Amino acid sequence: MSPIDLTDSDKMSYLANLWLIARADKALSDSEKALIEQVQKTIQAKRSHNTAAQKSVETGGFSLSKVGSFADQVQNLEDMVALADSDLAQAEADLSDRLRQCF
């Protein structure tokens, strides 16, 4: 994945989309956390973006959203799919379906 040009707000939303999928099954695996941290670096987001994204999801103040250009949205969706556990929880599947409907 190559770096993409996102605003600070978009970076937070991009990461929040990932946190929402990762936390949908109420469990956070080490591999999910590692992937989110990898994506944070790839999109050149600061730790503060990641922390704000995580908090917005944990407090219920965030819902899936489109981020950036169409190419950015596709990349975000790819990252969200990569977060899905091998046994995709129903909550994760429902969130993924809602995002696909946005396109």
DSSP letter for 84, please: S
pLDDT score for 6: 93
Instruction: Show the tokens assigned to 49.
Output: 């973006």
For Cα atoms 41, 25, 65, give the angle at the middle one, nearest 5 degrees: 55
pLDDT tens by residue, the chain, 103 residues: 445 789 999 999 999 999 998 888 788 889 899 999 999 999 999 999 999 999 999 999 898 899 999 999 989 988 988 887 555 556 556 666 666 666 5
| Rg of the chain over all Cα atoms, to the nearest angstrom | 12
The number of C-alpha atoms within 13 Å of 25 and in the hemisphere containing its C-beta is 16
Instruction: Show the tokens assigned to 55.
Output: 């908090």
pLDDT score for 44: 94
